[in-house]
Amino acid sequence: PLLVPLLLSLFAKRTMPSGRYDMEENETSSLVNPYNRKSKGGLKRRQLLFVAVVVVVAVIIVAAVIATQNNDKTGDTPSSNEFAASVSVDDVFVHLQQFYNISQQFNNTRSAWLGGFNMSVAYVVSQLNTSDYFDVSVQPFRVDHFLEEKSPSLTFSYDSQGAVANTNIKTMRFSSTGNITAPLKDAHFGCTPADFGDQTGHIALVVRGNCSFYEKGKLALDAGAAGVIFSNSEDYPNQPTNGRVRGGEGNAEYVDLPMIGIGYEYYSTLSTVLAAGVVVEASMSTYGKRTYQDSANIIAEMKNGRSDSVVVVGSHL
């Protein structure tokens, strides 16, 4: 994550933007600024040393890239030593401070869901556009997002006992909203059609492992299930899973069923009861909403250089 501020410290002009990226000088925050080396709770000496080491390593990488990029017009090769000498930790911290300022406007995060990431993109673009080194472009894309609007509920009843609520549950990400009551049917790992059989009118019970959540959910849907309860693996007896149930990257396919996650211990109990031929009635409610967030990649291509020697350097923003 330090590579972006490093590049900005090298190539952007030595003037900082005004407006929304800066906090006012008299503005205070209840949160300790981790990039303020003078304040209590700021970066400690070992952390500063780590930052310095990372900066040195990153400079070596970037300098090596620059050294290979002869100017097509003049044939001159920039001096990597001069390039590295132009880096200072203070300049890097200036940009880290700006990212921190952005996070303070979005509940101490620069997550894409709250807007901090897109403001960070705008900040980096504004800085790179002050440089004469790059042609800067923005590549927009959308990120799928699951929003849980209300906590789920799950109850079981069997052996003539009343409904017993299981509160240690989670909504599986990208679950549909639904409120259903149906008998439970164990599909074990649920990775083949034979595992499910005919699930018509049932809620499928599956355990984590051997295939993806999406594959399990899709097979349950194809088998006629009204909903799916996902158990965590045996290593997590009391920790419910809430994995993502959707197609892989670039494949925005969903399973249109209400889906809840439970811990393995509860699955083991239910599986044993079902294996004994006992009918288990389950009632489940989920409240999920599928949405998306617009985001973007930043592509900065050097204006000068050799077309036969291209080096790509990437970083998380």
pLDDT at 306 over 60: yes
What's the rounded Cα separation, in Å, for the pair 107 and 116?
9
CB atoms within 10 A of CB 213: 24
For residue 207, give both structure tokens.
């355990």
pLDDT the model gives residue 46: 45
The token pair that represents 5 in the structure block: 């501020």
Burial 100-122 (b: 16+ CB within 10 A, else e): bbbbbebeeebebebbbbbbbbb
What predicted TM-score, i.e. pTM, was given to this entire model?
A: 0.64
Question: Are the C-beta atoms of 189 and 177 separated by less than 8 Å?
Answer: no
Residue located via tokens 């989920």: 286
Beta bridge partners of 140: 296
Mean pLDDT of 240-259: 83
Does 191 score more than 60 pLDDT? yes
In the chain, alpha helices (H): 3-11, 45-68, 80-85, 89-104, 116-128, 193-196, 213-222, 264-275
Give the tokens for residue 246. 């959707």
Greater pLDDT, 207 or 20? 207
* CA 185 to chain CA mean position, Å: 33
- CA 276 to chain CA centroid, Å, is 42
Per residue in 30-86, pLDDT (tens digit) is 233 333 333 333 444 444 444 444 444 455 455 555 555 554 445 555 556 666 677
Res. 185: pLDDT tops 80: yes
The CA-based angle 140-146-148, given to 5 degrees, is 145
Residue ranges with strand state E in the chain: 134-157, 164-165, 170-171, 178-188, 203-207, 227-231, 259-262, 281-302
Instruction: Write down the mean pLDDT value for the chain.
Output: 77
Question: What pLDDT is stored for residue 7 in this prediction?
Answer: 60
Q: What is the pLDDT of residue 28?
A: 31
Instruction: Please say whether the beta carbons of 182 and 202 come within 8 A.
Output: yes
